[in-house]
């Protein structure tokens, strides 16, 4: 049996037009940090180019060595800026910092990760391969929704999330804005892209 964590984990379920409070469990990710406009930053392209080969190498190692097969998870990213208006008002992407990441099962350990990185390095020369790390993230309570459409059209949804739903629920934002890219932007037209928008929160009191 092949495990699909998008179906088995509640935090990968979201509906368009619905803001939902979820408790995200501790999850393990392949991560790369960077800064700048994802559309033009060479660092962002390098991060994606490094993450996927490691993710697939780990999948096959897990299946062959542990008998645990799973679907490679979609690309995700944390986004932040010194002034969060860079996301909801002027959308100045040059001011954005980011962590690109792909979730991997908790049975993937440091030794398997190191072996996967070494195996990829033997086959391909990938800039930034050494910048990828394996890390567990504990987001805890979050509010999330599904955005359908271009990434550049997220501002209105984020404004409602940040300025209306979260305060009305007696919560305040904490942590970093999180996006889960359920669609492959290389194959899906912008108007049909499906993206989970997630914001960690805590009690406002």
Check which CATH number belongs to the domain holding 40 and give it.
Answer: 3.20.80.10
What's the pLDDT at 86? 63
CA dist 202 → 40, 59, 103, 169 (Å): 34, 34, 23, 10
**Phi/psi at 110 (5° precision):** -60, -40
Instruction: Please give the residue range of the domain that contains residue 32.
Output: 18-203
Contact 2, 70 (CB under 8 A): yes
- When computed from its CA atoms, the radius of gyration of the chain, rounded to whole angstroms, is 17
| Structural domain count of the chain | 1
Q: How far apart are CA 105 and CA 113, in angstroms?
A: 11
In a 13 Å sphere around the CA of 25, the CA atoms on its Cβ side amount to 10
10: in domain = no
Name the nearest CA neighbour of 202 among 158, 160, 171, 170.
171
What's the pLDDT at 107? 97
Other beta carbons within 10 Å of 127: 13
Q: Mean pLDDT for each 10-residue chunk of the chain (205 residues)?
A: 95 97 98 90 91 97 97 96 69 85 98 97 90 97 97 91 96 95 92 97 94
140: in domain = yes
11: in domain = no
Q: How far apart are CA 176 and CA 190, in angstroms?
A: 24
Which residues does 105 contact at the CB level (< 8 Å), separation at least 6?
3, 5, 28, 62, 68, 70
What's the pLDDT at 94? 81
178: in domain = yes
4: in domain = no
What's the pLDDT at 127? 83
What's the pLDDT at 38? 86
94: in domain = yes
Q: How far apart are CA 162 and CA 54, in angstroms?
A: 34
* Verdict on whether the full-model pTM lies above 0.85: yes
């Amino acid at each position: 049996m092949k495990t699909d964590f998008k179906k088995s984990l509640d935090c990968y379920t979201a509906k368009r037009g619905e803001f939902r409070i979820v408790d995200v469990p501790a999850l393990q990710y392949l991560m790369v940090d960077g800064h700048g406009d994802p559309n033009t930053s060479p660092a962002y392209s390098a991060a994606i180019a490094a993450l996927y080969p490691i993710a697939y190498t780990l999948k096959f190692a897990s299946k062959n060595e542990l008998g645990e097969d799973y679907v490679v998870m979609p690309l995700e990213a944390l986004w932040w800026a010194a002034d969060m208006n860079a996301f909801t008002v002027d959308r100045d992407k040059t001011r954005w910092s980011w962590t690109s990441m792909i979730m991997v099962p908790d049975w993937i350990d440091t030794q398997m990760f190191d072996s996967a990185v070494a195996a990829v390095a033997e086959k391909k020369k990938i800039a930034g391969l050494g910048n990828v790390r394996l890390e567990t993230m504990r987001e805890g309570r979050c509010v999330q929704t599904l955005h359908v459409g271009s990434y550049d059209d997220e501002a209105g949804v984020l404004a409602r999330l940040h300025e209306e739903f979260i305060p009305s629920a007696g919560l305040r934002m904490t942590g970093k804005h999180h996006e889960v890219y359920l669609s492959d932007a290389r194959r899906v037209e912008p108007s049909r892209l499906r993206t989970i928008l997630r914001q960690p929160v805590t009690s406002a009191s």
